[in-house]
Amino acid sequence: MDVRWERLTAPELKELAARNALPVLPVGSLEQHGPHLPVWTDSHAAHALSVRAAEQATDIPAVVLPPMWMGLSEHHFPFGGTVSLDYATFHAVLRCVVRSLRADGFGRLFIVNGHGGNIEPLAVSARELAHEFGVPVVATTWPQAAPAEVAATLTAQPGIQHACEGETSLWLALDPAQVRRDRIAEAAPPNTPPESPTAGASRFWSFAERAPRTGVRGDPRAATAEKGERIAAAVSAGLARMMRDPLLWRAPDPVWNPGRAGGRGQ
């Protein structure tokens, strides 16, 4: 059976719900990715990697929803091409997805994120949704599924950044026609400010401050399709392991139940 939700029929999805299938929601963004990558990079990557993982985890089974293509991307507005949600709307959309899945008979959700600006909001939303609906809601950002393998693959930077060696390599492996190769040199360093923010301090920084020349962090000149395929293989395998991890899919402790203190109200 196809693992993509939008290609299945309602009876097929009801059958998956009856089998305790794992719905997977890719979450991304619609935002600038320099002069050489398309604005749906984060959404496409999260979806493509989720599909690969679900195809490996047919024993679960897993089914991948269409990507949630807007995230929190206001920091990219200075470069254009960006559409963003605010946090209240972002959480409300996720809440409606979980509520809908519960109505459809599913009892858990795996969120695979492709956008750095969604990491902190998703950590809060996943926790709050688990409390509200009493089901496991697990969120990860795809480089976290195979950090050592991703780092070992890259040669110009330590990890995934933005429109960088890693994201450009992934596009070259998944759909090279979408990479504007003639503009990669234009996106290359120096494109980051000389100073670094104080470690341990949290505040809003726009990409006009963090990557003022082209909105790119990292060096896409080092990208190759071979690197992209290694990244895709490692990450999809890591996501499949998360799908199979029984500790992640235990029911959440009902800590908000009346009398939960002292072991009551469970």
Determine what percent of the chain is predicted with pLDDT higher than 90: 90
76, 224 Cβ separation under 8 angstroms: no
pLDDT of residue 70: 98
pLDDT of residue 264: 64
DSSP of 20-77: T-EEEEEE--B--BTBTB-TTHHHHHHHHHHHHHHHH-TTS-EEEPPPB-----GGGG
pLDDT of residue 266: 64
pLDDT of residue 12: 98
pLDDT of residue 190: 84
pLDDT of residue 197: 80
pLDDT of residue 265: 62
**What is the spatial distance between Cα 236 and Cα 55, in angstroms, rounded to a whole number?**
9
Per-residue pLDDT tens over the stretch 44-89: 999 999 999 999 999 999 999 999 999 999 999 999 999 999 999 9
Domains of the chain, by residue range, sit at: 5-254
pLDDT of residue 1: 79
Q: Angle 165-174/225-244 helices, nearest 10 degrees?
A: 90
For the segment(s) 5-254, the CATH number from 3.30.70.100, 3.10.129.10, 3.10.350.10, 3.40.50.10310 is 3.40.50.10310
Vertex 30: Cα angle to 121 and 22 (nearest 5): 60
122, 111 Cβ separation under 8 angstroms: yes
**Positions of the chain with pLDDT under 70:** 263-266
pTM (predicted TM-score): 0.96
